[in-house]
Amino acid sequence: MSVMGLFFVFIASVAVLYLARQGVMQSPWLEEGEVATHPDARGLAPPPAAKVGLIVFLAVAGCLFSLLAAAFFMRMESADWRSPPAPAILWVNTVTLALSSALLHAAKRAAQRDALQPLRARLSASGAAAALFLFGQMWAWREMAAQGFYAASNPANAFFYLLTGTHALHLFGGLVALARALDRARGATSVHEVETIVDLCAIYWSFLFVVWLAMLAMLSGGADGLGVICRRLLA
């Protein structure tokens, strides 16, 4: 089995282990008598179906970004590879994405305190920061094109657009979910109506931020040493 195959097995094992600890593997329909709730051995109720679906999606997305990273490291050893300079705005984008993620976790804490008004304000601010991140990514693409670093001119340029574009697409999907959460929060009378979706958005944003940090290290040359190791393993 290849190294990437082992890595995918590792991701799948982590996802299955997490879901098993959350009580997903229980079979309440096999129990006799009235079944109201089925807490696990720690007294916790099974997670919402939406959270289970998100964990499965993150496992698949993690495999996707891992494949892109493996292809990046394998391709960069070719003679025609010319790494373009990373646009300076990428560092500003990193700050805005970190701020968006932090605001979502602050919104999650507001939901735990039953503070509906701060929850709405933090969701709005997080969405604005995420939209600013997407605008910054478009600015980076425009700056790359203005300097002549087109996708067709070099494989390193193509990977820059591919990696950042794939990440931006995932973030845009999350932004749609965040807009839905904000719409619910504005019409809600209790935080319990939006607590689950806010929790899911916070988890998703944390995932996107970690992936972005890894991608930024790759694009800026900070992961070249890791690339050498990966190429030796994949070869």
pLDDT tens-digit profile of 124-146?
999 999 999 999 999 999 999 99
In angstroms, rounded to a whole number, what is the distance separating the alpha carbons of residues 78 and 158?
14
Per-residue confidence (pLDDT) for residue 1, from 0 to 100: 41
Give the range among 12-16, 121-125, 156-160, 174-178 with minimum mean pLDDT. 12-16
Residue 230, CA distances (Å) to 3, 14, 70, 78, 122 in order: 9, 21, 7, 15, 40
If you average pLDDT over every residue of the chain, what do you get? 82
Distances (CA, A) of 17 to 13, 189, 200, 234: 6, 36, 19, 26
pTM: 0.81
Cα four-point dihedral sign 91, 97, 103, 109: negative
Summarize the confidence of residues 61-76 as an average pLDDT: 87
What is the phi-psi region of residue 201: left when phi exceeds 0, alpha when psi lies from -120 to 50, beta otherwise? alpha
70 pLDDT more than 90: no
Domains defined for the chain, CATH in brackets: 84-234 (1.20.120.80)
Q: Cβ of 93: how many Cβ atoms within 10 Å? A: 22
